[in-house]
Amino acid sequence: MPRYEYRCRTCGDTFELSRPMAESAAPAACPAGHDDTVKLLSTVAVGGSASAPSPAPRAAGGGGGCCGGGCCG
């Protein structure tokens, strides 16, 4: 179930709720009981490291072009 982040406009508290996607736009009360809240846009962090991709191998005798010379006559 996705987690959504909200901020209370009354007390300034930021909190998260787990709820179905179908309820993502439904109002959410803050833990202090205030109803004036807004859903925040969240960023997704993905761990790990990335390296530059290696170039694709070329076919022997290819003529270049958009498709390596196979269909561009």
Question: How high is the pLDDT of residue 57?
Answer: 64
| DSSP secondary structure letters along 4-72 | EEEEETTT--EEEEE--GGGTTS----TTS---EEEPP------S---PPPPPPPPTT---STTTTSS-
pLDDT tens sequence across 27-57? 999 999 999 999 998 776 667 666 666 666 6
24: confidence class by pLDDT, cuts 50, 70, 90: confident
Using alpha carbons, list the distances in angstroms from residue 42 to 10, 12, 31, 56: 21, 17, 19, 35
The pTM is what? 0.55
Q: What is the dihedral of CA 57, 60, 61, 64, to 10 degrees?
A: -10
pLDDT at 64 over 60: no
